[in-house]
């Protein structure tokens, strides 16, 4: 049950308002709770209010929380950089991966996805501002990587993800618009692509106005992140 004064309720109302401004249905955006560094009880409290989708950056921490919250029918998203030695557990335990930026990693995820599970939903992470400090494929290389990922048998390529520079709303809007245009171009040959994972606590309203279908919120839901 959703607490009348909870951050989750306020954010859901804000998302609905942003959808309305953009002329979109309120069910067209998935709220992804970025739960890295948060405890299993904190996640359980949100799950009790109806939150289903949780995003994790650190594999072992995520696996511990998955075990603690087993049986709650939650949807787990891996949203951090992926090392080759972590792909087996990611392929086996997650429903979504937002941070594929190399064909080598995509191949490993496909090969290691256990039989009997549905295809792993993946997004290609795009370094939309060409920042050296960030993971992601350059915009110019997105189409080639998308074609390679789409051909892998145990993955379902769903769309694109980006973490734009947080300079200003105008800069974010420009980056979001560029990512949306890139997805639109890909859909000429891959019409099933349907996901734009973009927008965080500071800019999710702008992201929704520019076409986001998944917004990734941590601080807005949980408060300031505790030190690691």
Domain of residue 151, residue span: 7-221
Residue 22: per-residue pLDDT: 94
Nearest CA to 172 out of 180, 125, 16 is that of 180
Q: With a cut of 50, list the residues of the chain below it in pLDDT.
A: none
CA dist 9 → 6, 49, 51, 74 (Å): 5, 9, 10, 19
The CATH number for 66's domain is: 3.20.20.10
Residue 213: per-residue pLDDT: 98
With respect to residue 1, please indicate whether it lies within any of the assigned structural domains: no
Say which DSSP state 137 is in: B
With respect to residue 129, please indicate whether it lies within any of the assigned structural domains: yes
How many domains does the chain fold into? 1
Residue 181: per-residue pLDDT: 97
Tokens for 87, please give them.
Answer: 């792909």
CA distance 203 to 206: 6
Backbone φ and ψ of 52, nearest 5°: -110, -30
Residue 164: per-residue pLDDT: 85
With respect to residue 92, please indicate whether it lies within any of the assigned structural domains: yes
CA distance 215 to 36: 15
Q: Is the pTM of this model over 0.85?
A: yes
With respect to residue 227, please indicate whether it lies within any of the assigned structural domains: no
**Cβ-contact 72, 33 below 8 angstroms:** no
With respect to residue 2, please indicate whether it lies within any of the assigned structural domains: no
With respect to residue 36, please indicate whether it lies within any of the assigned structural domains: yes
With respect to residue 228, please indicate whether it lies within any of the assigned structural domains: no
With respect to residue 13, please indicate whether it lies within any of the assigned structural domains: yes
Residue 54: per-residue pLDDT: 98
Cα Dmax for the chain: 47
pLDDT in tens, 120-142: 999 999 998 877 778 899 999 99
């Amino acid at each position: 049950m959703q607490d009348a004064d909870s951050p989750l309720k306020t954010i859901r109302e804000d998302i609905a308002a942003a959808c309305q401004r953009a002329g979109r249905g309120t069910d067209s955006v998935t709220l992804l709770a970025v739960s890295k560094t948060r405890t299993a009880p904190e996640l359980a409290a949100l799950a009790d209010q109806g939150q289903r989708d949780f995003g994790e950056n650190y594999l072992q921490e995520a696996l511990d929380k998955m075990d603690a919250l087993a049986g709650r029918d939650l949807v787990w998203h891996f949203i951090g950089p992926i090392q080759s030695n972590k792909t087996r557990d990611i392929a086996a335990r997650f429903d979504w991966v937002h941070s594929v930026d190399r064909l080598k990693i995509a191949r490993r995820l496909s090969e290691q996805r256990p039989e009997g599970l549905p295809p792993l939903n993946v997004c290609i992470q795009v370094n939309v501002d060409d920042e050296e400090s960030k993971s992601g494929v350059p915009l110019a290389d997105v189409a080639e990587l998308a074609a390679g990922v789409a051909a892998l048998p145990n993955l379902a390529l769903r769309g694109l993800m980006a973490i734009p520079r947080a300079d200003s709303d105008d800069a974010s809007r420009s980056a979001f618009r560029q990512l949306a245009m890139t997805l639109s171009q890909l859909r000429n040959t891959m019409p099933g692509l349907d996901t734009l994972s973009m927008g965080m606590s500071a800019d999710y309203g702008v992201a929704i106005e520019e076409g986001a279908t998944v917004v990734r919120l941590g601080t807005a839901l949980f408060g300031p992140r505790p030190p690691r």
